[in-house]
Structure 1
Amino acid sequence: MQIVSASQAGDINFVDMRNNRLPYLTIDAHRGSLSALAIHRHAPVIASGSATQRIKVFSLSGDQLCSIRYYHTTFIGQRIGPVTSLAFHPYSVLLAVASADQLVSIYADDTFQPR
């Protein structure tokens, strides 16, 4: 049985309860600002969000796959607010992101191929 936990300090820990109660992998995802975490049911990915307006997606082996961050607002661009909640679609690689500015954004990965 594997457990994934996260702390507001920014660490994401992976623990295998069958072998050891200590983390076998720790990711320093967001220094001091992690505010949300989501794990996909079927795809080997997790997403983390921060109060500093950043979303990061990692593989279950700890590799960072992508980062979404606000850079500049254009008249058709959307600013990402401080992330308050994340949720993956149960069967597609779609990520819903709720932010403190009362907006919900949905991100998709069209390149993912299920195994």
Structure 2
Amino acid sequence: MVISNMRENTLFVKVQVPQGSEIQKLEKKSLSSNIFVGPPMDEKKFGSAPRIQLNDQFAEISDIRAFIEAERAARDEVDVPFLTTTLKCDKDVKMGDISDIKQELRQVGALRIMYAASRRAKDTY
């Protein structure tokens, strides 16, 4: 038997998620839209400033509204209230950049937000 793991998006940004102690798994990953934020993989071409990736392309904060509306249109109407936006941000991204993204999500009515994190080792306190 052959098993393959298909990645939905090709990452163009480096994302090393922060660690957390109170982590929960998302029940339905199909009801999740991912926004990746981090420095570009190709820093020579795109610079070292953090960039936003929506699906398989770089985007600006103003593009988030159209992205969320397209994600809602692609889902069944019954599932739309349960859509969760997952922010997969590099641990070195400034909170001001994340706040700008959250503000845009708030304006479009995407209020269910989840931050991706990895489990912290128990002895790091």
Output the TM-score relative to the length of structure 1. Answer: 0.32
Structure with more relative contact order (C-alpha pairs < 8 Å, separation 6 or more): 2
Output the TM-score relative to the length of structure 2. Answer: 0.30
